[in-house]
Structure 1
Amino acid sequence: MTRAPSPAALHTLTAGSSGPRIAFLHGLFGQGRNWQQIAKGVVGEGGSDARALMIDLPDHGRSPWTDDFSYETYAARVADTISAWAGDEPVTLVGHSLGGKTAMIAALQHPAGFEKLCVVDIAPRSYHNLHRFAGYIAGMQALPLEELTSRRDAEERFAQVEPDPGVAAFLLQNLRRAGDSWAWQCNLQLVARDAARGSASRIADFPYAVNAGDPLPAPSPFGGPTLWLAGSESGYVADEDTERMRELFPAVRKVTVKGAGHWVHTDSPQVVIETLRRLLAVR
């Protein structure tokens, strides 16, 4: 993996040397490198089957922070970053959860920049609040950063509030050491502040949702091939979401991945890799 230049100041990683272009967006508290296994599988052994870009969204990873959350800002920054990487070449945009909403907004607001879309386990609607992440946020805020002596110390302390080692490792990837001090690399304060808004949460919302708090004007639909991946054990995507998804993305095809939870690409990586390779081959 090598870093790609990012005039829009979002941190990126690249994989592959030739072939169709595909860009990946992670979910809340994630980083672009969370897509590395999938990206490597899509670009192939020799790196000639595709070219991949993995982006750290604003307020995440090594990308700059914002003062207030906005999907429109996220989408614009993503579109600028991808444009600097791909120029006028067609791009397939893949996004999971928070990244899936950002990908949908990017495709709707900047349709010329994208040829195809893949939305992973999220729907174009408001989820009302961040209650599913409330425990994660509280656990991260409660970690006494000034007392930590090592990453192992952090892991042992965090295990008391998050016993699932996979979830704990995912969240603690955001913990960084600078000299003798520790800090959260993600903008935890912004996420916590948004979560405190309850039903007014902008992260839980979707600007084009029928029930959005501050809905945007109805957009023109995105006409490119759209793959909608859902985990059968997740619950983030419901049957009633299909009508709105088809209104915004009329060429959508839904695929439910058996046995997968919300992190579909982590639970079923080979299924996701093969499905994306087929999407790239669609003409």
Structure 2
Amino acid sequence: MILHATATGDGPDLLLLHGLFGAGKNLGAIARGLAAKFRVNSLDLRNHGSSGHAADMRYAAMAADVLETMDSLGIGNAVVAGHSMGGKAAMMMALTAPARVDALVAMDIAPIAYGHDYDAYLAAMRALPLRPGLTRHEADTALADAAPDAAMRAFLLNNLILAPAPHWRLGLDEIAGAMEDLIDWRDPEPLTPYDGPALFLCGGHSPYVPARAHGAIRARFPNAAIETLDGVGHWLHAEKPAEVIAALKGFLQ
């Protein structure tokens, strides 16, 4: 699948891959911060943003989408940076097509399986009556029980398009059906570690990259640097974009 992509800046190519329920534009601050040194290509992964929908959401399929999109854009190789779900897709790219990945950045994610609490979000979003005249306030109220945090509701509702007719730009049915694949991690067979440069940037207040995950990282990415940003959670790029940009610039230099 060729993915929707937007580009900014000039220089060597860098790909940005967003997380679950997101879109390429969610990493806009990072794209702008790196645009002076790179041509930053922000991609919408399958079932997200303006890209197509498909039932298969295994990371091998998502990595193949990114490679196909690179081919369509005339990009031979690039730095690949991803947050959460996008970080797992970036890792799979590095492991399966290492010659195409100049360097890897994984933001607050590791090559391990996770638990999740997204069922309530998905159920509430799928149950929302998409009737003519629906307002964002009504949608926000409908999601309040499933997502009591206002910031999370706003993030989810970024995917609700009200005009000309209300619809979700997410493939909600496809995501719900693929959730077990999304929270899982399956190594490619045979597994050949990626020996290029890699940065795993973690949120100090996030549980997503526990100490027990460091062994899994180093077994697959032996040259990885694992760094922690203090005072941020899983959404480190939104909470402290300047610090994330500085960390990426330092690594990529």
Q: Which residue, 169, 186, 200 being the options, matches 1:207?
A: 186
Deviation at 1:139, TM superposition (A): 2.3
Q: Which residue, 36, 47, 69 being the options, matches 1:59?
A: 47
Q: Is 2:158 the counterpart of 1:157?
A: no
Distance 1:43 1:140, change over 3 A: same
> Is the Cα–Cα contact under 8 Å of residues 13 and 75 in structure 2 kept in the other structure?
no
Q: Is 2:92 the counterpart of 1:105?
A: yes
Q: Is 2:129 the counterpart of 1:144?
A: yes
> Is the Cα–Cα contact under 8 Å of residues 2 and 68 in structure 2 kept in the other structure?
no
Q: Is 2:233 the counterpart of 1:246?
A: no
Aligned to 2:71: 83
What residue ranges of structure 2 are gaps of 5+ in the alignment?
none
Q: Which residue, 27, 44, 56 being the options, matches 2:19?
A: 27
Deviations 1:50-91 (A, max 9, x none): 210000001111100012322111101101212333533x41
In 2, Cα distance between equivalents of 1:229 and 1:261: 11
Where in structure 2 are the equivalents of 1:224-239 lying within 5 Å?
A: 224-239=196-211
In 2, Cα distance between equivalents of 1:218 and 1:240: 23
Aligned to 2:35: 43
Deviation at 1:205, TM superposition (A): 0.7
In 1, Cα distance between equivalents of 2:249 and 2:24: 19
Structure 1 residue ranges (4+ consecutive) displaced by more than 4 angstroms after TM superposition: none
Deviation at 1:253, TM superposition (A): 0.2
Q: Is 2:11 the counterpart of 1:9?
A: no
Paired letter, 2:223: A
In 1, Cα distance between equivalents of 2:43 and 2:125: 23
Aligned to 1:4: none
Secondary structure of the residue aligned to 1:203 is helix
Give TM-score, length-normalised by structure 1.
0.84
Aligned to 2:248: 276
Q: Is 2:118 the counterpart of 1:125?
A: no
Aligned to 2:232: 260
Paired letter, 1:12: A
Deviations 1:90-114 (A, max 9, x none): 4110011111110000111111111
Deviation at 1:163, TM superposition (A): 3.1
In 2, Cα distance between equivalents of 1:143 and 1:159: 12
> Is the Cα–Cα contact under 8 Å of residues 24 and 94 in structure 1 kept in the other structure?
yes
> Is the Cα–Cα contact under 8 Å of residues 148 and 154 in structure 1 kept in the other structure?
no
Deviations 1:192-234 (A, max 9, x none): 2234xxxxx11111111xxxxxxx4232111111000111111
Deviation at 1:160, TM superposition (A): 4.7
Deviation at 1:148, TM superposition (A): 5.0
- Report the number of matched residues: 253
> Is the Cα–Cα contact under 8 Å of residues 4 and 50 in structure 2 kept in the other structure?
yes
- The share of aligned pairs that are identical, in percent, is 37
Give RMSD over aligned pairs. Answer: 1.7
In 1, Cα distance between equivalents of 2:172 and 2:65: 20
In 2, Cα distance between equivalents of 1:132 and 1:232: 21
In 2, Cα distance between equivalents of 1:159 and 1:269: 27
Paired letter, 1:157: A
What residue ranges of structure 1 are gaps of 5+ in the alignment?
1-7, 196-200, 209-215
Secondary structure of the residue aligned to 1:115 is strand
Give TM-score, length-normalised by structure 2.
0.93
> Is the Cα–Cα contact under 8 Å of residues 134 and 162 in structure 2 kept in the other structure?
no
> Is the Cα–Cα contact under 8 Å of residues 23 and 82 in structure 1 kept in the other structure?
no
Secondary structure of the residue aligned to 2:166 is strand
Paired letter, 1:75: A
Q: Which residue, 59, 67, 77 being the options, matches 1:71?
A: 59
Q: Is 2:161 the counterpart of 1:194?
A: no
More divergent stretch after superposition (156-165 vs 103-112): 156-165
In 1, Cα distance between equivalents of 2:249 and 2:182: 30
